[in-house]
Amino acid sequence: MQNLLGISLEQITPQKETVRRLLDGAARHIADARVKAISAETHFSWKQRNLTEYTGDIIPESAVSECLSHAESLHAAAIAWLKKHKPNLR
């Protein structure tokens, strides 16, 4: 990415407030996705049946849970990395 500095990327000095807002936003999106997934469970069977009927593709319910789990793990890893390597930004 260094080769893109000055061309399509600008180098900035990280600010604590900016990092906090980004992490808070990520946490809100994960929480929203979890709420939407839970509320969608009642419609999931119908949508899965409909999708299977029209495309032949099957989307397992476990895929949604796995995706949310990965998002939560990534968020936690980002916070842990910041605490260890950039504690002044957390």
pLDDT at residue number 80: 92
Report pLDDT digits (tens) over 15-69: 899 899 989 999 988 888 877 776 666 555 666 666 666 776 666 778 778 888 8
**Alpha-carbon span 80 to 61, nearest angstrom:** 29
Between the alpha carbon of residue 54 and those of residues 15, 42, 51, 58, 69, the distances in Å are 49, 20, 5, 10, 29
pLDDT at residue number 4: 76
Q: How many residues does the chain have?
A: 90
For the chain, the C-alpha Rg in angstroms (whole number) is 19
Report pLDDT digits (tens) over 59-76: 677 877 888 888 888 899
